[in-house]
Structure 1
Amino acid sequence: MFLNTDIKAILFDLDNTLLDRSAAVRSYFTHLLQTLSPPLPDEEFELTLLTILARDRLGYEDRAAFFDWLVANCFPDWTQDRLWADFRKKLPQMIQPDPQCLQLLEQLRENYTLAVITNGSAHLQRAKLKAAGIDQYIDQIWISEETGSAKPDAEIFSQALHALGVSPQQALYVGDHPHQDISGARQIGMLTCWMDLERTFPDEVPQPHYQISSLNSLESLVP
């Protein structure tokens, strides 16, 4: 199935859509756990790391609650503010450019306007975009901290479409979160494409128009 030929713009979520946030978070906390003294036994180390990643919920856990939990349960020598500052500084350093992603964006940019809509800290999200090499292919970016609205609020999607000069029917939104990405974009009439990351889409959420298992699969939708 090909994209509607009326599509003028493709907008993306950032984390775990355009870049592998999960791998970067795993690397960050692996390094941090290795600094503990005395060192954790191997089995406890792996269990602690897996627990941290599960608690993070692909970045959708409340930030303050997550970092409070980390300090209370894993890193008692840190404060919440110090750990958050360290995370913001070092996480972009864990991001690895994906040559296949960059090649796809270069190809798409020949025919479509490309943009990003993402929730989070403006400093952190822009640093990750740059570290991944994605910033050079993206025409515009909207970050919740800067716009004053966050996905799934219709306002942030509407702001982006207005600035790009396209109607909802002329835009495709690609993301990994059923509610924040797919439901958010669908409510204003955008076409949607869900990155399933080997998950099943929940029945209670409006279904995406397209579903892909990896970003590279998006190429098969492009006419």
Structure 2
Amino acid sequence: MKLNNIEHVFFDLDHTLWDFDKNSELAFGDIFKKWNLGLGVQDFLKVYSSINLKYWELYRNNKVSKEVLRYGRLKDSFDILNFEANDDLVNSLADDYIEYLPKNNHLLLGTVEILEYLKSSYKIHIITNGFEEVQRKKMATSGILEYFHTITTSEEAGVKKPHSLIFKKALEKSAASAENSVMIGDNYEADIIGAENAGLHSIYFDYHQNTTTAAMRQIKTLKELIKFL
């Protein structure tokens, strides 16, 4: 069923439009080669992926700092793999990752097509918990920056999704009202619950295939947005 009276469409970035998993794998591949670590990237990612999600949840809930996230997700992964890495190496790898990650440009299937579809009828925006210094670079490198009227990051807002203040900040920047806005994202707590608590409509993008019947509107592919917009 189409959403009526929508003028502003807000997207999450990572795992919603920008293919974080693919781009992260490529970044680690380049970094491991640079440092000649002698550790298989796929072996590393099998451990790292869940640890990274855990740290992002802690970061989202203000239980760890940005610095602890960047260090801890690597250190914990290496420890599980019994791979010796001192603090200097871990910190160097963490710095390289932030540098290398936005150089990759893979988008999720249908990203450009859906942005092209939406741009003539709506103003499109980004709300992200990602780091300020890399999110705009990701969008520029992947060729989608021009589609967005505003970009609101958690570092700019001073709070992270699902806190209502980041959504209010985004609404202020875009001169939008909550009732004529919709949020689309892959994280049910951060994107969907957060948006709805701030008064926005929402569409849950089930990227992780964790279908939740609690979401009133949900999609499994970006092209399915045409059902609602």
Q: Does the TM-score normalized on the shorter chain lie above 0.5?
A: yes
Please list every run of 5 or more consecutive structure 1 residues that lacks an aligned counterpart in the other structure: none
Match of 1:65 among 72, 87, 93: 72
Match of 2:9, SS state, is strand
User: Cα gap change, 1:2/1:66 in structure 2, threshold over 3 Å: closer, same or farther?
Assistant: same
Please give the alpha-carbon distance, in whole angstroms, between the structure 1 residues aligned to 2:165 and 2:11: 16
Q: Aligned partner of 1:76: which letter? A: A
Q: Find the counterpart in structure 2 of residue 24 from structure 1.
A: 23
Q: Find the counterpart in structure 1 of residue 228 from structure 2.
A: 221
Please give the alpha-carbon distance, in whole angstroms, between the structure 1 residues aligned to 2:225 and 2:38: 43
Please list every run of 5 or more consecutive structure 2 residues that lacks an aligned counterpart in the other structure: 60-68
Which region of structure 1 is more displaced relative to structure 2, 154-163 or 10-19? 154-163
1:131-189, Cα deviation, whole Å (9 max, x unpaired)? 11111000000011122121111001011112323221211100000111111001022
Match of 2:141 among 127, 131, 138: 131
Q: CA deviation at 1:24?
A: 0.8
Q: Aligned partner of 1:119: which letter? A: N
Match of 2:74, SS state, is helix
Q: CA deviation at 1:120?
A: 2.4
The answer to whether residue 153 in structure 2 is matched with residue 146 in structure 1 is no
Q: Are the equivalent residues in 2 in contact too, given 1:26–1:53 (CA < 8 A)? A: no
User: Cα gap change, 1:46/1:115 in structure 2, threshold over 3 Å: closer, same or farther?
Assistant: closer
Alignment of 1:65-104 (within 5 A): 65-70=72-77, 72=79, 73=81, 74=83, 76=85, 79-97=89-107, 100-104=110-114
Equivalenced residues, count: 215
Please give the alpha-carbon distance, in whole angstroms, between the structure 2 residues aligned to 1:146 and 1:105: 24
Q: Are the equivalent residues in 2 in contact too, given 1:12–1:174 (CA < 8 A)? A: yes
Please give the alpha-carbon distance, in whole angstroms, between the structure 2 residues aligned to 1:58 and 1:106: 34
Please give the alpha-carbon distance, in whole angstroms, between the structure 1 residues aligned to 2:37 and 2:96: 21
| Aligned alpha-carbon RMSD (Å) | 2.5
Q: Are the equivalent residues in 1 in contact too, given 2:16–2:205 (CA < 8 A)? A: yes
1:180-223, Cα deviation, whole Å (9 max, x unpaired)? 111100102211111112522457xxx3331011222212322x
Please give the alpha-carbon distance, in whole angstroms, between the structure 1 residues aligned to 2:143 and 2:162: 26
Q: Find the counterpart in structure 2 of residue 49 from structure 1.
A: 45
User: Cα gap change, 1:128/1:81 in structure 2, threshold over 3 Å: closer, same or farther?
Assistant: same
Please give the alpha-carbon distance, in whole angstroms, between the structure 1 residues aligned to 2:192 and 2:5: 20
Match of 1:91, SS state, is helix
User: Cα gap change, 1:152/1:37 in structure 2, threshold over 3 Å: closer, same or farther?
Assistant: same
Name segments (4+ residues, structure 1) moved above 6 Å: none
